[in-house]
């Protein structure tokens, strides 16, 4: 069985969880072909594993404008009726979307590229990550006679504009839908008929043995906290810098490392300078998986004061490394972070609550933090082991293929009689 994975940009620094999922599926005996809609070469890949994935990945837009036009026309000429059905679907979805019909014609051309690539490749199923444009392309490819498709919804973006993204249409046409938490499943329930609920499955993101088998150091008495993630509004790093300023202002030592990069970096750097925190707050830029592990283990706790999320993989990574987590009461986070057991949760956007919890973590005896860290790894091993979760996903792929085969046999039998 050969599965095609489709992502908007792959491999990407912040998408190590997709790489782990693919590796775990291959360990289950599935063949997985990697496809990225856009080129990732402009983004610095710092992890050796990402660099290896880059070599295995085909880029749809790598065919260029002429290639898109050629594939669009070739499918129109060779398979006019399926192509017209795909065109109708692209116009229908595009008309109701924020991006408009023109972009959806481009998505149709991208789907034609995949359709031609799949013809002789042995791909039997297409799986997209994120319910945005990769799933649109997967749906259009299937609409023109391509393989059955499924997709993984992470949130929060899919839930910001579900109607514009045609989320209901995508669910209705999919063989099955994967979501990463009970919360995200509940949000999908809102946007499809009750009859579709049975096709929505929770397959959690996970960590692998690189984390479970890592040598973990004792928690240091140094006042170090770490935040790992894209530097953007929804991650709450601006609020975090302000909290550090308040703690330092009352004489408490606090060192914060921001691991990541993104559109908010310059504003965060300006805020650090404004508050005079250049000695207390450092930004590392993107880091490899091994480097992220070192930053986490050098801290007393991971802190992620997000305003909008799905369920951040870095929380799983921190707990697997026996470090407690400070985060917020949003989305799927409370399904993993349990206050007083393996971490703390604060109301999203509450400066007072965030500052108070940071103060507590910095002043707690290390043995208390280590007890919470031990509880954290138990939680991750039970719920977020990538091999265990990938096995569930592999079974869904196999069931979907068998179901498609049976349907095809029934149709063929009907035509013969």
Tell me the per-residue pLDDT of 145-183, one tens digit each, with 9 for 90 and over. 999 999 999 999 999 999 999 999 999 999 999 999 999
Q: What is the DSSP string of 144-211?
A: TT---EEEEE--SHHHHSTTTTTHHHHHHHSSEEEESSHHHHHHHHTTS-GGGGGGEEE----B-HHH
Q: Does 410 score more than 90 pLDDT?
A: no
pLDDT of 42 strictly over 60:
no
9-13, 47-51, 349-353 — which one is most confidently predicted on average?
A: 349-353
pLDDT at 405: 65
pLDDT of residue 412 exceeding 50, the answer is no
pTM, two decimal places: 0.92
Residue 124, C-beta contacts closer than 8 angstroms, at least 6 positions apart: 1, 2, 3, 147, 401, 404
Mean pLDDT of 40-56: 81
The pLDDT of residue 413 is 42
Residue-averaged pLDDT of the chain: 93
Nearest alpha-carbon partner for 298 in 230, 243, 226, 370 = 226
pLDDT the model gives residue 415: 47
Intra-chain end-to-end CA distance of the chain, in Å: 30
CA 318 to chain centre: 17
Q: Is the pLDDT of residue 411 over 50?
A: no
72-98 per-position pLDDT tens digit: 999 999 999 999 999 999 999 999 999
All domains in the chain, ordered by first residue = 2-206+385-416 (3.40.50.2000), 210-383 (3.40.50.2000)
From residue 99, give the alpha-carbon distance in Å to each of 34, 39, 40, 134, 374.
Answer: 26, 20, 22, 14, 47
Q: Quick one: pLDDT at residue 300?
A: 97
Q: Which segment of 46-60, 258-272, 372-386 scores lowest on mean pLDDT? A: 46-60
Task: Enter the tokens of residue 152.
Answer: 């993984």
Q: Count the neighbouring beta carbons within 10 Å of the beta carbon of residue 147.
A: 22
Q: What is the 3-state secondary structure (H, E, C) of 13-75?
A: HHHHHHHHHHHHHHHCCCEEEEEEEECCCCCCCCCHHHHHHHHHEEEHHHHHHHHHHHHHHHH
Question: Cα dihedral angle (99, 100, 102, 107), rounded to 10 degrees?
Answer: 60
pLDDT at residue 287 tops 70: yes
Give the mean pLDDT of 33-59. Answer: 86
Lowest mean pLDDT among 209-218, 338-347, 383-392: 209-218
Mean pLDDT of 40-52: 77
Residues of the chain above pLDDT 90, percent: 86
User: 259-287 burial, b for 16+ CB within 10 Å, e for fewer?
Assistant: bbbbebbeebbebbeebebeebbebeebb
Cβ atoms 185, 200 nearer than 8 A:
yes
Q: According to the model, what pLDDT value does residue 41 have?
A: 64
Give per-residue pLDDT as tens, 218-257: 998 999 999 999 999 999 999 999 999 999 999 999 999 9
Give tens-digit pLDDT for 59-73: 999 999 999 999 999
């Amino acid at each position: 069985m050969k599965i095609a994975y489709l992502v908007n940009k792959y491999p990407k620094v912040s998408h190590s969880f997709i790489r782990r999922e693919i590796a775990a599926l291959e360990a289950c005996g599935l063949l997985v072909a990697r496809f990225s809609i856009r080129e990732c070469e402009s983004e610095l890949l710092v992890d050796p594993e990402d660099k290896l994935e880059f070599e295995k990945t085909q880029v749809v837009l790598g065919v260029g404008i002429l290639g898109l036009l050629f594939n669009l026309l070739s499918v129109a000429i060779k398979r006019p009726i399926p192509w017209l059905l795909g065109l109708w679907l692209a116009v229908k979805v595009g008309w109701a979307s924020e991006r408009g019909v023109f972009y959806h014609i481009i998505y149709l051309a991208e789907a034609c590229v995949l359709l031609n690539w799949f013809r002789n490749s042995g791909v039997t199923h297409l799986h997209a990550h994120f319910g945005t444009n990769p799933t649109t392309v997967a749906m259009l490819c299937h609409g023109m006679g391509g393989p059955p498709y499924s997709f993984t919804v992470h949130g929060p973006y899919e839930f910001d504009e579900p109607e514009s993204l045609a989320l209901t249409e995508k669910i209705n046409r999919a063989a099955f839908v994967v979501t990463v938490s009970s919360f995200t499943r509940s949000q999908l329930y809102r946007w499809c008929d009750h009859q579709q609920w049975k096709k929505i499955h929770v397959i959690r993101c996970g960590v692998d043995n690189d984390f479970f088998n890592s040598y973990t150091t004792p928690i240091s008495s140094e006042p170090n906290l770490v935040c790992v993630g894209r530097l953007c509004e929804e991650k709450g790093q601006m609020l975090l810098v302000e909290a550090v300023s308040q703690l330092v202002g009352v004489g408490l030592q606090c060192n914060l490392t921001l691991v990541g990069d993104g559109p908010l970096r310059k504003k965060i750097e300006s805020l650090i300078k404004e508050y005079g925190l250049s000695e207390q707050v450092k930004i590392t830029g993107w880091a490899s998986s091994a480097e992220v592990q070192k930053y986490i283990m050098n801290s007393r706790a991971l802190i992620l004061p997000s305003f909008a999320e799905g369920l951040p993989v870095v929380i799983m990574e921190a707990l697997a490394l026996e470090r407690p987590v400070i985060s917020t009461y949003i989305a799927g986070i409370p399904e993993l972070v349990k206050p007083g057991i393996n971490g703390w949760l604060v109301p999203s956007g509450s400066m007072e609550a965030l500052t108070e919890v940071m103060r507590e973590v910095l002043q707690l005896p290390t043995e208390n933090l280590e007890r919470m860290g031990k509880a954290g790894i138990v939680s991750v091993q039970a719920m977020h082991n990538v091999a265990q979760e990938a096995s569930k996903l592999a079974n869904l792929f196999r069931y979907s293929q068998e179901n498609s085969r049976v349907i095809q046999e029934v149709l063929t039998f009907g035509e013969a009689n």
